[in-house]
A and B are shown apart, each in its own frame.
Chain A
Amino acid sequence: AQSVTQLGSHVSVSEGALVLLRCNYSSSVPPYLFWYVQYPNQGLQLLLKYTSAATLVKGINGFEAEFKKSETSFHLTKPSAHMSDAAEYFCAVSEVDSSYKLIFGSGTRLLVRP
């Protein structure tokens, strides 16, 4: 079964600094990969997804992620953090079978310091 590992349950950056949230997946077959964001007391909102097209995927709010098959990674980045980026971020992998269900990582809480 697929699994997702997010390194760092909390990441703290200064406003304007680079944001890097790490995600590694376990799969022998390139899966579909997703990043979702969750603001307090809200559901999950899709940031971006990789579905075997371009390896560099651009999402909403200035975020992007790069699929690296050799490293089984799908790290999320943003060049300059904004206070409004403070939230919980979840990496997820889609099972490449008939269900297409999402398997989520444990999440990384991003804190942005003024």
Chain B
Amino acid sequence: EAGVAQSPRYKIIEKRQSVAFWCNPISGHATLYWYQQILGQGPKLLIQFQNNGVVDDSQLPKDRFSAERLKGVDSTLKIQPAKLEDSAVYLCASSFYSSGNTIYFGEGSWLTVV
């Protein structure tokens, strides 16, 4: 079965510019996650969707980050305006919504802000 698809894989932008990342989860997975992984750290959850509703966005910097999953399938994460500290890998993941569920990760979108 196809895995979690993400694009673009790599992006370099200047600070104060905007960027958008796209994610298509595994077919049938109701839950979609966006994680931020800064170099040398573990992934940190930014936002979690259940179908097209937000379950948790407590760690999303809402003044500059936004995410949507309008039709309950694919999702877009946007950063505007970007800061130097946003340089990280943005990992999309998906899972069935059940206890003990396995979360499957995409290969990530690598962002460098200069």
Contacts and interface: CB of A to CB of B under 8 A. Distances in A.
A101 B102 CA distance: 10
Interface stretch (A11-19, A68-76, A77-85, A92-100): A92-100
Contacts of B102: 34, 46, 49
A61 interface: no
Contacts of B45: 101-103
A100 B41 contact: no
Contact of A101 (B33, B91, B105, B107): B33
A2 B94 CA distance: 21
B99 A43 contact: no
Contacts of B56: 99, 101
Interface string B3-47: 010000000000000000000000000010100000011111100
Interface string B64-88: 0000000000000000000000000
B99 A44 contact: no
Contacts of A42: 107-108
Given A43-B91, A44-B43, A49 B33 contact: no
Nearest to B50: A99
Contacts of A32: 99-100
A27 interface: no
B29 to A, nearest CB: 13
B114 interface: no
Contacts of B43: 44, 90, 102, 104
A104 B55 contact: no
A43 B97 contact: no
Interface of A: 4, 9, 32, 34, 36, 41-46, 49, 51-52, 90, 92, 94, 98-107
Interface of B: 4, 31, 33, 40-45, 48, 55-56, 91, 93, 95, 97-108, 110
12 contacts: A36-B105, A42-B108, A44-B91, A52-B100, A98-B55, A99-B56, A100-B97, A102-B33, A104-B44, A105-B42, A106-B41, A107-B41
Which A-B residue pairs are the 8 nearest by beta carbons? A104-B42, A51-B100, A43-B105, A44-B105, A43-B107, A106-B42, A32-B100, A104-B43
